[in-house]
Chains A and B, each alone.
Chain A
Amino acid sequence: MGGGVGGGVGQDVADTRKRLTVTVNGRQCSLMVEPNRTLLEFLREDLGLTGAREACDTGGCGACTVLVDGRPVYSCLVLAVDCQGKDVLTIEGLAVDGRLHPLQQAFIDHGAVQCGFCTPGMILTAKALLDENPAPTDEEVREAIAGNICRCTGYVKIIEAIRAAGGTGKPACT
């Protein structure tokens, strides 16, 4: 077997880019992108929004989670061109004028952050949950974030933080 995995920019290939118009964090942008670009690559490399993290690359960990039309998706398994006309929210779009979203504040106050690599995806997943269900139970939180792997916390403080941000948890212990 030789070659044939589909060459990169080193090869002479025709321009196959498509125009993508998409709203990211409230701002509309319109760029030419290759069809083989994932939403994650588009956000990180074309827009410089590196808050979405690449960890497993195959839809098994949730570190790349962003919200597309309010729904949490694994951006490593979505084509950028498939987001035509859609509304994408990344972690960078959550704080408004430097004021943290209550979830971000709760993650800080409750010690829900350790290495931080899962944090953006976890917070966005939690946002999608709280938007639909502002006062989730412990079990509902677990169900919602079960597609996001955290290696550091055992999820204990993450669940606490999400419930606190939703107003059903206990206050932070400071």
Chain B
Amino acid sequence: MGRLSVVGTSLPRVDAWDKVTGRAEYAFDVELPDMLHVKVLRSAYAHARILSVDTSKAQGLPGVRAVITGADMPKDPPLEALRNELYAVPPFSLATDKARYTGEEIAAVAAEDELTAEEALQWIRVEYEPLPAVIDPEEAMKPGAPQIHDDAENNIQYENRTEFGDVEKGFAEADHVFEDRFSTQLVHPCTLERTVCIAAFDSSGYLTFYDNSIDPYKQSRYLPKLLGIEPSRLRIVQKAIGSNFGALQGNLTPYIMCALLAKKAGRPVKLVYTREEEFINAGPRHMGVCYLRTGVKNDGTVTARDIRLITNAGAYGYLGPAMMTSGFTPCAGLYRCPNVRFEGKCVYTNTAVTSPYRSFGIVPPAFAMESMMNIIAEELGMDPVALRLKNITRQGDVTVVGQEISSSGLPECIEKTVAHIGWKEKRGRLPPNRGVGMACGMFDSEVRNAPFAGSVAYVKLLEDGRVKVISGEFEWGQGSRTVLSQIAAEELGVPLESVLFSELDTAAVPYALGPYGGGPVTLRGGNAVRLAAVEARRQLFAVAAGMLSVGPDDLELKDQKVVVRDDPVRALSSAQVAHYAKFILAEEIIGRGHFEPDTVMRDPKTYYGNYSSGYTFTAQTVEVAVDPETGQVRILDFASAIDLGKAINPMAADGQNEGCVGQELGPILLESLAYDKQGRVVNPNLVDYRLPTALDVPPITSFLVESHEPHGPYGAKACGQVSNIPAAAALAGAIYDAVGVWIKDQPITPDKILRALAEKEKREHAPA
């Protein structure tokens, strides 16, 4: 590899101009001629039998063009076939006999305008027989709890137990055994752009969707089956996306409703969720309860870990089992402890279907494990940094669960953040009510969760010398198009401005896996684009060699010219060559790149396997001030280092790192999707659901550590969803350092801190 000129440079985003001028077009902005507006009637109860649905009055309302209920669903959709391909399948339909959460779809209306559609909902009569509801997964597991699905005893969707090494022996070897319970709450990704789905049939019955989902390929793959449409007659088109952090990946219900309504009304329809619908329907992050036991020797060596994790699946099973696997394995791999046992249960509850909001399932177990590492250090009188350095997995290791650590810059991440915060001078030495904390994290850089785990891209050299990247990898705000364009620009020697990127149209671009953070796009997509660009360059040289009557090996690329190396006056511009190739040879210069990582799927039972071709690491330190009279936590400084292998665009990578931390501070300190006992979300708006504002997020210092991952393009691996993993434990540690109490359930509210302080005071003043 020669010297890099575009890769490794902090260039502005390719879509920045459109976004700062307001011209970027989002699905929200798409308007089609003659379009109708859709509103959805949702279950008013968290758990109820539906006795009847009468839409006759609504259908007769002026301006209403179509109404559908569960009875309009295609008969016998091949759900079983889908179940074999996915872990579990939500109903992907409107509820017919029973509603299992408040917000479940019961009927939908398409009308001339939103207000008419909304009014029509008031005229739909639903007869319910309310049933007792259960919201908490531990309650739902108890005998006698309301049964949500007939085939799920004790509401267990999925359970698994796996053990590595000899855990009992590990505990026997330990000098101390720590045991505790940690929990996290339901939180919502709250993308600013709300869910949008537009469906339009053309005159020949070809169905086009415009949407902003995270997963158009899953949609385009399964919707034809569910709708009974030939796959070649359905496509999904995406515009700019107002961010996506994983809310209800692959939810097909809005598409089905819109397709049915568009068909019935014979006109295009547009569904835009209200913010309330986002909260009650569009998948929050699952809450998790983690019971953890850890055995440790006097010198800090961790000898055994026993993890019991309970998560709520919500009303329908979906990605819960996947989140369990995905959450457990990096937690197990972060430390060298050879004896690990894991027992996980996904439990049905009467809440919205939960989904993998940023860093796929790892937050509940990571909060528990990293908090416990801090507690262990405190109890052993060790520095938490020293405890980490003693136990962390190192480059070259094969971890207890089979991850092959081909690169790790974790020690450097620790070193950088610890130095930034002034750890040695500050820990335990700050004035009262001030404290510092730290924690670490690990996540996969991509993942094999299907037979195909790679990426395909085409790179085309256009007749004017510009380069077009045709890839199905998604841009939902993280900057993937910029990074992939930088790679194409690097290989074809053009400036970034000369790279165009294909619009995402599932009928026109290669299949991609997509829904998985900033990482896979860089690692998988980056490798594919690089291979495609290298192939395009080979073709460019082959054509130029013919034109210049030299061998391809005699050529080099310089300033957008193909130059004869030994005779630089003989040169052709790339544009000349591409023009010649297209119009004279009628063979366009187009390289195809196919990347398939050398990984295996995790064993579904043991979870063992090297499922990612690179693992990303992070370390964080934080300083806080706690007001002991109000419980208010003020974050004074936050440092986050990520080992991303190689920063293809350091500015964009810093943005991912900072943004990931800033976002996670919400769930840690402020946010909670609050269900009342009857299963209603009582804070479904952006005033009562408190997202962090600029005054809630502290200055965040980002460090990028480059460990050069051999499997990544230019050494790069993921950076988009690792910085949120240790943040809660780091903060909890800092709060302990400040005021001497451990908060073990998120969110860490002022109320909980005051309660813990009161209990501490009671303990300390209790007679011995």
Using CB atoms and an 8 Å cutoff, list the residues of chain A in contact with chain B: 1-12, 44, 49-61, 63, 90-92, 94-95, 100, 104-105, 107-111, 113-120, 123, 138, 141-143, 145-159, 172-174
User: Are A154 and B115 closer than 8 Å at their CB atoms?
Assistant: no
Q: Given A50-B29, A57-B275, is A115 in contact with B21 using a C-beta cutoff of 8 Å? A: no
Q: Is the CB of B275 within 8 A of A58?
A: yes
Judge whether A123 and B655 touch: CB under 8 Å. no
Chain B, range 463-481, C-beta contacts under 8 Å to A: 476-479
B662-A7 in contact (CB<8A): no
Instruction: Report if B77 contacts A (CB, 8 A).
Output: no
CB pair A5–B119 under 8 Å, yes or no, is yes
User: In angstroms, how far is the closest chain A Cβ from the Cβ of B20?
Assistant: 4
A-B contact pairs, 6 of them (CB 8 A): A2-B123, A50-B29, A54-B28, A107-B16, A114-B655, A154-B663
Query: In the bound complex, how far is the Cα of B687 from the Cα of A165, in angstroms?
Result: 30
Report Cα–Cα, A52/B22, bound state, in Å.
7
**Which residues of B in the span 89-117 have a Cβ within 8 Å of any Cβ on A?**
111-117
Would you call B191 and A151 a contact (CB within 8 A)? yes
Q: Which of B63, B477, B686, B694 contacts A115 (CB 8 A)?
A: B477
In Å, the complex CA distance between A161 and B112 comes to 43
B168 at the binding interface (Cβ < 8 Å): no
Q: In the complex the two chains form, what is the Cα distance from A13 to B651 in whole Å?
A: 55
- CB closest chain-A residue, reference B651: A111
- How far is the CB of A27 from the nearest CB of chain B, in Å? 16
Cα A152 to Cα B190 with chains together (Å): 11
Distance from B628 Cβ to chain A, minimum over Cβ atoms (Å)? 24
Find the B residue at minimum CB distance from A1.
B122
Q: Which residues of B does A touch, CB under 8 Å?
A: 9-13, 15-26, 28-29, 57, 61-64, 111-119, 122-123, 189-194, 240-243, 245, 274-275, 476-479, 650-652, 654-655, 658-663, 685-687, 691, 693-695, 697, 699-700, 702
By DSSP majority rule, is chain A's interface helix, strand, loop, or mixed? loop
Residues from chain A with a CB closer than 8 A to the CB of B660 are 154
Given known contacts A5-B119, A58-B275, A115 and B192 CB-to-CB distance under 8 angstroms: yes
State the CA gap A63–B281 with chains docked (Å).
Answer: 22
Taking a contact as CB atoms closer than 8 A, the residue among B9, B113, B194, B654 that contacts A111 in the complex is B654
Most chain A Cβ neighbours within 10 Å, of B21, B57, B685? B21
Known: A4-B122, A51-B23. 15 other contacts (CB 8 A): A3-B119, A3-B123, A5-B119, A53-B242, A58-B275, A90-B22, A91-B21, A108-B16, A114-B477, A116-B477, A149-B686, A151-B192, A151-B243, A153-B658, A156-B655
Q: B659–A111 contact, CB under 8 A?
A: no
Tell whether A174 pairs with B11 under 8 Å between CB atoms, given A49-B22, A113-B16, A155-B697: yes
Closest residue on chain A to residue B240 by CB atoms? A116
Residues of A contacting B24 in the complex (Cβ-Cβ under 8 angstroms): 116
Q: Smallest CB–CB gap between B568 and chain A, Å? A: 30
Bound complex: CA A174 to CA B478 (Å) = 18
Per the bound structure, the CA–CA distance linking A2 and B479 in Å amounts to 48
**With A51-B23, A107-B20, A149-B192: A157-B655 Cβ-Cβ less than 8 Å:** yes
Q: Which residues of B have CB within 8 Å of A154?
A: 658-663, 697, 700
In the complex, A144 Cα to B12 Cα: how many Å? 25
Q: For residue A51, which residues in chain B have a CB less than 8 angstroms away from its CB? A: 21-23
Instruction: Select which of B62, B663, B694, B695 is within 8 A of A151 by beta carbon.
Output: B663
Min Cβ gap A24→B in Å is 13
Chain A residues in 8 Å Cβ range of B15 = 113, 116
Nearest residue (CB) in A for B23 is A51
> Which of B63, B193, B650 neighbours the largest number of chain A CB atoms within 10 Å of its CB?
B193
Residue of B nearest to A52 (CB): B22
Partner of A8, one of B29, B119, B191, B661: B119
Q: CA separation between A24 and B160, bound complex, in Å?
A: 61
Q: Could you tell me if A55 and B685 are in contact, using CB atoms closer than 8 angstroms?
A: no
Within 8 Å by CB of B659, from A44, A143, A152, lies: A152
The answer to whether residues A56 and B275 also contact, given A109-B12, A151-B245 and a CB cut-off of 8 A, is yes
